[in-house]
Amino acid sequence: MTTPLLAVFKKELTDTLRDRRTLVAMIVVPLLLFPVLLIGVAKFTQSQAREAEAKVVRVAVVDPMNDSGVAARLGQQPGLAVEQTQDVSQLPQRIRDEALDAAVVVDPTFQQNLAKNRPGGVTLMFRSSEDFAVAKRRIQTGLDALEKDLLDQRFTAAGLEPSFVDAIAVQEHDITSPRERIGKIVGGLLPYIFIIFCFTGCMYPAIDLAAGEKERGTLETLLTAPVARRTLVLGKFLVVALAGVVSALIAMIGLYVSVSNGIEGLPPGALEAVAQLLDPVAIAAVLAILVPLSAFFAAGLLMLSVYARTYKEAMSLISPLMVVVLVPAMLALLPGTELTLVTALVPILNVSLATKELLADTAEPLHVALVFVSLTALAAASLVACTRWFAREDIVFRS
């Protein structure tokens, strides 16, 4: 026998699935976002890098004494077109006008300093805003090669080995696992996206099932049904919360499918590292945290939606909340922001931090449990408030 709650749930779920805007926000956008985003970023980055590498860098070399060998060495560097000049005053303007990509000014005492075993002075002019810093990188490579040759000559003249200047040989050993390393970087961005989809997945059903029904004139009919008011609220609440969880889950599926199939243009190591983040246990834990968060969103959005007179008014009330949701989610991206006993109690921020820790496999069980308990308590309080809100006739039938 069908219970009143189940009947209300089925009715509201059917209405939700009939709304095209809800289906697009809950299923289509989350499913397609990651493939389109990853492919677009990979293609764009690949195209920009190819253009940058194919570019011939125009470099002016000012060598007053014409004896440093800088121009000759840079001329041997692939992708550099070297011109020699003596007019230093016009170089900054020519670089700003893009007549040159960079310039190298050799100190007049270059050879004198080398003869005294001192470093020869060189000034490198370039624009730091240049994409990919191609000019600086290529010139630096040529200057490094020249410096190595000069050092070899200096060591040979002194009868020393090049290793003479290395007093300490440091061997680095990074014990951070690839999953932890990439998890700390990417793991801060993924929950940011999941929270957005969780919120938007709840937003459209909440507006449609309260303000939308008001506008269609069906809410009054529903309230006259022989069903307790709290049962009606709970049925709507479950549908809205389910929509938020499903939206976040579909976003995860879209990410998993994108990474599993590989994206041309992204480094294979990056794909493998992201694939390690999508561990089933970690994803299950993330979903478990998103459930009470979705419940919290659902209750709050339903309260605002039933307060609004029309669908348009509900959108104007709820849309600004996106900023309120994004700010604590963005705080998790800041360096040094960690999941502690204090941050575990801050809504939304705790979800971002806990998700980052879970994906990096560095989460403390106590902190994660505290996040789950605090969110569950917040969701329960929000549901109670939402039920009382629906019980007020002056709110439901606000004119």
CA count, 13 A, side-chain hemisphere, 106: 27
User: Which carries the bigger pLDDT value, residue 114 or residue 17?
Assistant: 114
Taking the mean position of all CA atoms in its chain, how far away is CA 58? 36
pLDDT band, very low/low/confident/very high, at 390 (cuts 50, 70, 90): confident
What pLDDT was estimated at residue 1? 39
Dist. CA 305–CA 210, nearest whole Å: 6
Alpha helices by DSSP H, 208-310: 213-216, 219-223, 229-261, 268-277, 280-307
User: Which is more confidently placed, 30 or 371?
Assistant: 371
- The pLDDT of residue 241: 92
Domains of the chain with CATH codes? 4-35+178-396 (no CATH), 56-165 (3.40.1710.10)
Q: Is 61 helix (H, G, I), strand (E, B) or coil?
A: strand
pLDDT at 61: 92
Residue 24 DSSP one-character state:
I
Is residue 180 within 8 A of residue 360, CB to CB? The reply is yes
| Lowest mean pLDDT, pick from 59-73, 81-95, 313-327, 347-361 | 347-361
Residue bearing the bigger pLDDT, 114 or 282: 114
CA nearest neighbour of 152 among 140, 164, 141: 164
Residue 105 reports pLDDT greater than 90: yes
Question: Where on the phi/psi map is residue 61: left (φ > 0), alpha (ψ -120 to 50), or beta?
Answer: beta
Residue range 16-32, pLDDT digits in tens? 777 777 777 777 777 77
Q: Is 322 helix (H, G, I), strand (E, B) or coil?
A: helix
Separation between Cα atoms, residue 332 and residue 352, nearest integer Å: 6
CA distance 34 to 129: 29
Q: List pLDDT tens digits, range 157-195.
A: 888 887 777 778 788 877 766 666 666 666 667 777 788
Residue type, 328: P
Cβ neighbour number for residue 229 with a 10 Å cutoff: 13
Residue at 310: amino acid letter:
T
Top pLDDT among 110 and 267 is at 110
Q: 252: closest CA among 222, 223, 285, 220?
A: 285
List, for residues 201-229, the tens digit of each pLDDT value. 888 888 988 888 888 877 777 777 777 88
Is the distance from CB of 30 to CB of 251 less than 8 angstroms?
yes
pLDDT at 104: 92
Report yes or no on whether pTM surpasses 0.75. no
Locate 329 and state its tokens: 């989610």
Retrieve residue 322's tokens. 């996106």
Residue 260 has pLDDT above 80, yes or no: no
